[in-house]
């Protein structure tokens, strides 16, 4: 039952907004009593925390070329932005909606950003970049910018523009990404894990 609750809440919170979804709506959607819901989640805040924690999925690193994995992440991003259920980054959405710096949601959102930063940093370290911290932050800003802009413009191709900018940044840092660019799209089709898998209604197997 706990997983069923989380699956339902995942879509409701992401699609309609955390503030807009009350406990009555959740119980009606699942077909359970409030008492049953509170047995699993004593408060809405606990439910919000569980919802975000469930979306905090580790980003894996493979043995493929580091620059290939970085550019591939923008292909995954474009796929996520093209999804009709896309509503932006759920971690950012939660922080903006709740407006409470002491809420556990802020810590989870920070964990998500730190996780993504560490992923980029490790890949850039493999490339022996002179200033990996700075470049990792620049790449994150490209991802954040494309994601935020897509909410307004509904144009997934913004991720493609961000990938082109990422290629320029990598080249400026001494990385020749031209040889891997042609392979990125084909590789991404084989690996359907989205860089922002958190940016859509999804089930436990995503």
Where is pLDDT greater, at 89 or 203? 89
What secondary structure, in 3-state letters, does the chain show? CHHHHHHHHHHHHHHHCCCCCCHHHHHHHHCCCHHHHHHHCCCHHHHHHHHHHHHCCCCCCCCCCHHHHHHHHHHHHHHHHHCCCCCCCHHHHHHHHHCCCCCHHHHHHHHHHHHHHHHHHHHHHHCCCCCHHHHHHHHHHHHHHHHHHHHHHCCCCHHHHHHHHHHHHHHHCCCCCHHHHHHHHHHHHHCCCCCCCCCCCCCCCC
DSSP 3-state of 24: helix
For the chain, the average pLDDT equals 87
pLDDT in tens, 49-66: 999 999 999 888 999 999
**Model confidence, pTM:** 0.82
User: pLDDT tens digits, residue range 178-196?
Assistant: 655 545 555 444 444 444 4
């Amino acid at each position: 039952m706990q997983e069923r609750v989380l699956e339902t809440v995942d879509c409701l919170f992401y699609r309609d907004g955390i503030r807009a979804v009350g406990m009555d709506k959740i119980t009606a959607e699942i077909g359970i009593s409030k008492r049953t819901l509170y047995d699993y989640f004593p408060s809405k805040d606990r439910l919000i925390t569980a919802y975000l924690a469930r979306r905090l999925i580790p980003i894996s690193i493979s043995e493929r070329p580091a620059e290939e994995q970085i550019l591939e992440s923008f292909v995954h991003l474009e796929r996520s932005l093209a999804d009709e259920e896309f509503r932006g980054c759920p971690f950012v959405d939660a922080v903006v909606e709740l407006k409470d710096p002491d809420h556990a949601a802020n810590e989870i959102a920070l964990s998500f950003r730190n996780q993504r930063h560490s992923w980029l940093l490790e890949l850039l370290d493999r490339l022996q970049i002179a200033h990996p911290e700075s470049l990792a932050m620049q790449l994150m800003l490209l991802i954040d910018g494309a994601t935020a802009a897509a909410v307004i413009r509904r144009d997934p191709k913004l991720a493609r523009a961000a990938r082109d900018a990422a290629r320029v940044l990598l080249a400026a840092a001494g990385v020749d990404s031209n040889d891997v660019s042609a392979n990125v799209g084909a590789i991404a089709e084989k690996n359907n894990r989205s860089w922002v898998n958190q940016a859509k209604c999804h089930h436990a197997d995503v």
